[in-house]
Structures are given as C-alpha cells and as structure tokens.
Structure 1
Amino acid sequence: MPIWRIHGNGRTVAPGAVVRPDERLNWPATIAIGVQHVIAMFGATFLVPILTGFPVSTTLLFSGIGTLLFLVITRNRLPSYLGSSFAFIAPVTAATATAGTGSALAGIAAVGILLAAVGVLVQVVGTGWIDRLMPPVVAGAIVALIGFNLAPAAWQNFQRQPLTGTITLVAVILFSVLFRGFLGRISIVLGVLVGYLATVLIQVATGASLIDFQPIADAAWIGLPTFQLADFTKPGTWSVIAMFLPVVLVLVAENVGHVRGVATMTDASVNRSTGRALLADGLATTLAGAFGGSGTTTYGENIGVMAATRVYSTAAYWIAGTVAILLSLSPKVGAVFNTVPPGVLGGVTTALYGLIGIIGIKIWVDNRVDFSRPVNQYTAAVSLVIAIAGFTMVWGDIQLGAIVLGAAAALAVYHGGNLIARWRKTGADDVRAPRETAG
C-alpha cells in the first residue's frame, strides 16, 4: 500500500487549499470520501451493463480492478475512477444484435489495445498530435454523435412503459435542477430510484406484473461474477471491431481532459502522466472486454466529487476500487439492478443520451468554435446527420455503422476542407507573387 502524507490536521481541508494526490486525510475521512466516489460513479456504471445486457457484477469487478490498475500504472500520482464508458453503448448494442456478445467483447478489447498503444505513443512524443488530429470542432462532433445516435434506443424502452418513463425523466430533471453539489451530481441515481419505486407502487395498485423479484430472492449473497470470453474468431467480428474504433477518439479526449482538469486543481506536473493514463485505461478496457465487462473511462462524476470536497488524494480511490470489487462479489446486488424496468431505463436514457450529445456541444462552446467557417459547419452537420439517421455502409464482408461513418466524416471534412483551403491560398499567392515582384 502506498504511503501518503497527512494533510493539515488530517480532518479538514484548509481554506483555499486542496488535498494533493500524495496526501490524505485521516483514514475514517478517507474511507468516507472513497465510499462517496463509489456512490457518484454507481449510477452511470451500472446503467451501461443493464443497457447492453452485460452482467452488472462483472462490470463492477473490472471497474474496481481497472481503477486499482490505473493507480499502479500512473504511479499513484493521478486520482481517477474508471467506470463504464457510455461511448461503448451504441457499438455494443449493434454488435450484440448482429454478431453476438463474444464479438462485442472483442470490439471492446480491441479498443483497449489501441488506446494502450496511443498511451505509449503519447508517453514518447507528447499530446500535440492529438490536438492537431482532433481539434475541438472534431472532438465535439464525435462525442455528440455518439449520444444522439442512441436516441432510438431510449425511445424503444420508453414506449414500453411511458408512465414510469415520464416519472423517471421528470425526477432526473428535478433533482438536477433543484439540488446543487453532490445530490445534483447523482440525479441519475435518484431518478432511477424514484422510477423504480413508482413502478413498484403501480404494480401493487394495479396487480400488473412489472417487476419480477424472484431472481433477487434466488440470488446468493456471496459469489463470483459471470465471465465470458471475447471471441476474435467468429465471422463478422472484424466488422464489429471497425464499428468500435471511433470510441478510441472519445476515450483519448476524456482521459486527456481528466488529466488536465486534475493538473489545473493540483499541480501542472500531473500533465506528464497523460501517456500513463491512456495506457492504464487501455489495459483496463482490454482486461474488461476480454472477460465479459464493459469498457472503462475516467469519470466526470468523480471529478465533481473532488472539486466539491477539494480532496484529490489517490488514497480515496484505492478505497473506492476496493469497495467496487467487494460489491461485485454479491450476486444479489447484480440481481437487484437487473430488475430495473424498461420504462425506468427509457426515462433515464432519454436524459442521459441527450446529455452525452450536449457534452459534445459544450466542447464547441468552451473552445469558442467559429461556426461562421464553412469547414466547421459541415464538420458538425454532416457527422451528426449520419449518426442520427443511422447511416450504414457495406464494404465486402465489413459493415460500417453510423458511429464509425460519422467519426470518419468529421475527420475527413475538417482536415480535407482545411487542406483544400490552404492549397487554394498557396496557389493564389503563387499566382500573385510575380506581379507583386514586378510592381
């Protein structure tokens, strides 16, 4: 176990100060903050396996293991929780429907391998090439299109139980708007709880069979999660892997943004851990995909907890990762989450998928993307319509889905458009040059 210096008196954070990654409060306070990180990540992390059909307990296990692996690889200098990435939902859903779970897991593992390779490259040459490949207009478009591409999936669940879907959606919005701080950040969790309780009350009042509690009663309190191996040999798997590749760009953006956020609040030297962060998330995602878990990413929910508490100690994340592993060893916990009704999922994902899209738009706003430039307009416009409409392209035995086509369009339109603009400007300068010299 790493050794941390005690911050101040070990009980409180001094005004204007932060608890740095290599510091901690006393253990009772640190454990409490670690548990708070688990609560903050839980709502988003358990929703991904529920929506994709993966075992909740398996996802929790690899989430906890991935977090501890992340801390080891980043040499205990970068606080982060690795929870389920929503960027995987659309490709996993499509891959499972067309090629099966084994191929979907192969896609997750392939993303992890590529992300780890990017991490090694960044550790060697730095992050400048990422900024050039994925400027804000492209990064925002790719994040936004993944969220908006999922809109039909939200509607499919919502229309099955519109009343509970509406109650859940309204609850999520109200909790987010009415509460500040920690309660506002877990509005998704609270909305699910309200929707679930409403479904139970409707079932009691009407006698309708909306939730089957028998699997919860049958599940053991303690037991190992269910594992499934990724299948790289099944026909169609390479088409699936192509579908997953744009997710790498999202994970790169999320990890780089996380490192920069922590560096801003603690120490600029944290930025030197960017390559290690990408490598760690890549290895954690590969491990999860190989054995039946969801792909991982650094979590904004936990950044919010750190900002609220001003505690950036990695000790809290060792606690959080350990607690997640312990929770994964209870099949009864997984059984509870597997009973979440479709209407509740429809309501919460209506908000959640839209928020993913809005995060992409926020990247444009925060970076003041100039949409008076045609190249920026078409980078966003073409990629979003491809994703929302669900464009597909078949090339031999490989089928490319809307996410990969939309991401490819964003990159091609932006870089192709700027290349043409530079070529035209250079050509015009070459034509004018002799006249200017003669004059």
Structure 2
Amino acid sequence: MSEQKMVMDVHEIPRLRRWIILSLQHLFAMFGSTILVPFLTGLSPAVALISSGLGTLAYLVITKGKIPAYLGSSFAFIAPIVGASAASGPAGAMIGTFLAGVVYGAVALLIRLSGMNWLMRLLPPVVVGPVIIVIGLGLASTAIDMSMYLPGPDEDVYSITHFSVALFTLAVTIIASIYFKGFFSLIPILIGIVAGYGFALVQGIVDTAEVETEWAAITSSGSISEFFQALFKLPEFVVPFVDYSPFEIISGDIVLLMAPVALVTIAEHIGDQMVLSKVAGRNFLERPGLHRSIMGDGAATIIASLLGGPPNTTYGENIGVLSITRVFSVFVVGGAAVFAICFGFIGLITALISSIPSAVIGGISILLFGIIASNGLRMLIDNQVDLSDKRNLVIASVILVIGVGGAFIQLTDNLQIAGMALSAIIGVLLNLVLPGKEKGYGNGTMFADMDTAESDHDDSAA
C-alpha cells in the first residue's frame, strides 16, 4: 500500500492541549452511537462508556499500539442481547456477550495458525451483505415504536407529540450530516440528540428530576470531598461470574443467539481494517496482523461482558475522523478511551443520558438502522456481486426474507434459532452447497486485498 501524508503518525505524541482536543473529537464522534445501544437493550449507558474505553485500551495493547482504532457498542448485537435478556435476564445477555468474545478469540487463533482464506470462503459478500441488511431492517420496528408511542406501560398508545420530537430529531441529524462542515460534520448523531433533547424539553416530555438532584448535590457541596462524592457515582455494573453462576444461566438459546452474530461482525471488522489500512497507507492485515485486531475485538467484548456492557466493535465514525484529520496517533485514540471511562463515572452525565426521551432515540434510530441496512447493500455494490446470477440471487433472497420475516426453528421449549441467526446460518449453508462459490465474492477489490494479505501470511510463515 502506498504511504499517504500524515499530520501525525501512529506513535507520535501530541502536545497536551492539542491532545485533549483531538481525543475529545474522537469521543464525540462515537458518543451518540455508543450510548444508543444500551438505551435500546436496557443496559447502562455509563457502563457502555466505561467498557468501550477499557476495551479500546485493551485493543491498543493487543495490537502493539500499531492500529489507531476506537471500539464502541455494536449495533449487530442489539436483537440478540434483547433476546438473551428476555430469556435469562441481564446476566444471561452478559454470558452471551462473553461467548461472543470467545468466538472472536477462537477465530483469531485459527487465523494465526492457518491464514484467513477459510474465513472468507465461509463469509463471502453475498452472505454478509444481506445479513447486514437484515440487522438494520430487523430493528426498524423498534425505531418506529420508540418514535410513535408512549414509553413504559402505555407503550401501545400513539403520541403525536413524541412522533414530532422524533421527526425533529431525525431532521436535524440529516441536516447536520449533509450540510455541516469540519468538526461538526463528524458528530451529526450527537448534534441530533442535543437538538432533539432541547425540543423535547419545550414539549414537556423530559423527566429532569434525576438531573436536578445530581446538580443540586454538586452545587450544595460544602467541601472538596463532598464535591467529589457528589460528582462521581458508581455505575450499575452487572458481573455475571460473581453475582451469578454461568452454568445456571447459559443455554442453547444464548449460544445460538450470539455466536452466529459474532461471525458476521468479524466480517465487518475485516472490512473496517481494510478501509483503515487504505486511509493510513499501512497494511494492518499484515502488521500487526488480522489475528491481533480480531483478538483485540474479542478482548474488548469479554471486558464488556464482565462489567455489564454491550459487545464492542471498531467504529466507522472514528475511522472517518482519522481520514479527515490525518492524525493517526494511538495516543489520541487512547486519550478518547480515558475520557470515556471518566464520563462513565460522572453522575451528572449519566443522569443527563438517562433523561433522554425514547422519542429522541427513536428519531436517531430511524437513520442509524437504515444506514446499517444500506451498508449491507454497499458491501454488495463495492464487491460488484452480480445479483443477476441465479446463485447469488437465491442466497441473498432467502437470507432477506427469513431474517426480516422473523422465521425461527423451535428445537425445544426453551431452544429457538430465530431471525438474524437463522438467516446467517442458512446463508452460510447455501453458499457452501450451491455450485459456483467464486461468484459469491464478486469482482471488487476486497478479496484482492485479502489474497495479498494471505500471500504475505504464507511468506512470513515460510
């Protein structure tokens, strides 16, 4: 890969003032999406921030400080977490998250020992693209319900006020993403949340009681010690291996909900690494190696599972920041991780996040879930997958209808393979048994890069 001009290289340390500003920029870029996932899954936003920060630091260590990537909450696991929580409570979701991290680790070990072509044979674009579309469209009803209906026990009651707040939030986010320039173009989600929150305040649908309590405690502090006690709060951690016995919680349901999704997010991770490699002019698939970056993702997800946070994954928003600023310093990314951890322990910030109305989150979700689905379509286009070919058309069609339609296989009273997991499994099986596997790769550059990286792996192994 050709070397591109950098403002700051991977191991350069910026001056303190610039360091803080650049790190906060990365924090703002990921903030809206990272706190949205716990909102939709019933987890703690504060814990999500802390686990994303700790996961990013672990990722930087595992990749030897050579890949400037930030990790935040993964949208692909929203439906599986909700399903696991319904079956076994929050602890069940955390056990499932832990298992997903183990899958990452196993795949990383296999790649280290045997290269990565086997993984791409299992998950070509004709399978991964439609599954990503299923992830986005499968969540569409969640976004609309949050936008149109009253939250809580009256969740089936239509509210024009809530819907107007959702549409206003959506409109501001779209305007920010299309028309804003410079730094503000990097944080349209955060801008949309802030604007939607303000409009919701005017409409009288924001419960500010907890925020007022936290603020009163801070302003009424009579000493430095009282100030810090009022400012910092311990989040609601869920520690499954301490508070619960995993053997009492784990079930086939949880395994089948989480494990197939891990394979899909690994394919997404590979795409992110390719984009980041092109942006930075480095082959991160070769050095420090794809096995290290996948292991870093797995470690971050395991850390999240031990605290009560959602699974983590590398963030495209932060890759966008790197692309625009040309600042590739891992110290800047690490600074953003430290800020995220600190924010998670500040009670006032946690209270502000918790007070965001569901209609605001619903408005943001309409755009974000659509973008997820569009990214699946983009994967098919970028890899030039020919859908006029009957084989590709069959695989994509079956995945979409099974996943979006909500098909499931009931194995036992408590064991079910449903939705996205079922569509992914069937897609993989169809790709393996139908003739003409090479057609599923398309004619794009993604697998040319993979072949180059595989040759590099073989050469280094030799």
- TM-score, scaled to structure 2: 0.83
Q: Aligned equivalents of 2:392 and 2:248: distance in 1?
A: 40
SS of alignment partner, residue 393 of structure 1: strand
Moved more, 55-64 or 18-27: 18-27
Name the structure 1 match of 2:231: 221
Deviation of 1:266 after TM superposition, in Å, equals 3.0
Q: Aligned equivalents of 2:251 and 2:213: distance in 1?
A: 35
Structure 1 residue 173 corresponds to structure 2 residue 157: no
Retained in 1: the 8 A contact 2:431–2:437?
no
Moved more, 232-241 or 405-414: 232-241
Structure 1 residue 327 corresponds to structure 2 residue 322: no
Name the structure 2 match of 1:389: 405
Name the structure 1 match of 2:280: 266
Structure 1 residue 407 corresponds to structure 2 residue 424: yes
Deviation of 1:182 after TM superposition, in Å, equals 3.6
Retained in 2: the 8 A contact 1:107–1:241?
yes
Deviation of 1:62 after TM superposition, in Å, equals 0.9
The structure number with the bigger radius of gyration is 1
Retained in 2: the 8 A contact 1:68–1:321?
yes
Name the structure 1 match of 2:313: 297
Retained in 2: the 8 A contact 1:18–1:266?
no
Q: Aligned equivalents of 1:385 and 1:303: distance in 2?
A: 32
Name the structure 2 match of 1:46: 35
Structure 1 residue 30 corresponds to structure 2 residue 46: no
Deviation of 1:420 after TM superposition, in Å, equals 9.6
Q: Aligned equivalents of 2:84 and 2:168: distance in 1?
A: 31
Retained in 2: the 8 A contact 1:106–1:241?
no
SS of alignment partner, residue 435 of structure 2: helix
Deviation of 1:249 after TM superposition, in Å, equals 1.9
- Write out per-residue CA displacement over residues 128-164 of structure 1, whole angstroms, 9 at most, x where no aligned residue: 2222111111111121111111111112111112111
- Write out per-residue CA displacement over residues 99-134 of structure 1, whole angstroms, 9 at most, x where no aligned residue: 321111111111011111111222222222222111
Deviation of 1:255 after TM superposition, in Å, equals 2.2
* Residues 1:111 and 1:392: Cα distance change in structure 2 (over 3 Å): same
* Residues 1:362 and 1:78: Cα distance change in structure 2 (over 3 Å): same
Deviation of 1:174 after TM superposition, in Å, equals 1.7
Retained in 2: the 8 A contact 1:387–1:406?
yes
- Write out per-residue CA displacement over residues 16-36 of structure 1, whole angstroms, 9 at most, x where no aligned residue: 445321234433323321111
- TM-score, scaled to structure 1: 0.87
Pairwise CA RMSD: 2.0
Q: Aligned equivalents of 2:307 and 2:426: distance in 1?
A: 32
Q: Aligned equivalents of 1:347 and 1:297: distance in 2?
A: 23
Structure 1 residue 246 corresponds to structure 2 residue 260: yes
- The share of aligned pairs that are identical, in percent, is 33
- Structure 2 regions of 5+ residues with no counterpart? 150-161, 215-229, 440-462
Retained in 2: the 8 A contact 1:50–1:337?
no
Deviation of 1:88 after TM superposition, in Å, equals 1.1
Retained in 2: the 8 A contact 1:63–1:296?
yes
Q: Aligned equivalents of 2:172 and 2:309: distance in 1?
A: 29
Structure 1 residue 362 corresponds to structure 2 residue 378: yes
Letter in 2 for 1:215: E
- Write out per-residue CA displacement over residues 41-73 of structure 1, whole angstroms, 9 at most, x where no aligned residue: 101001111111111111111111111111111
Deviation of 1:169 after TM superposition, in Å, equals 1.5
Aligned pairs (5 A) from 1:83-232: 83-160=72-149, 161-203=162-204, 210-219=205-214, 220-230=230-240, 232=246
Q: Aligned equivalents of 1:116 and 1:240: distance in 2?
A: 18
Deviation of 1:419 after TM superposition, in Å, equals 6.6
Deviation of 1:264 after TM superposition, in Å, equals 2.0
Moved more, 285-294 or 22-31: 22-31
Retained in 2: the 8 A contact 1:211–1:339?
yes
SS of alignment partner, residue 233 of structure 1: helix
Deviation of 1:236 after TM superposition, in Å, equals 6.7
Q: Aligned equivalents of 1:339 and 1:97: distance in 2?
A: 24
Q: Aligned equivalents of 1:28 and 1:201: distance in 2?
A: 36
Q: Aligned equivalents of 1:154 and 1:101: distance in 2?
A: 22
Deviation of 1:180 after TM superposition, in Å, equals 4.0
Structure 1 residue 375 corresponds to structure 2 residue 370: no
Q: Aligned equivalents of 1:405 and 1:184: distance in 2?
A: 37
* Residues 1:20 and 1:254: Cα distance change in structure 2 (over 3 Å): farther
Retained in 2: the 8 A contact 1:20–1:266?
no
* Residues 1:387 and 1:181: Cα distance change in structure 2 (over 3 Å): farther
Letter in 2 for 1:390: G
Moved more, 230-239 or 331-340: 230-239
Letter in 2 for 1:246: P
Letter in 2 for 1:113: V
Q: Aligned equivalents of 2:180 and 2:395: distance in 1?
A: 36
SS of alignment partner, residue 211 of structure 1: coil
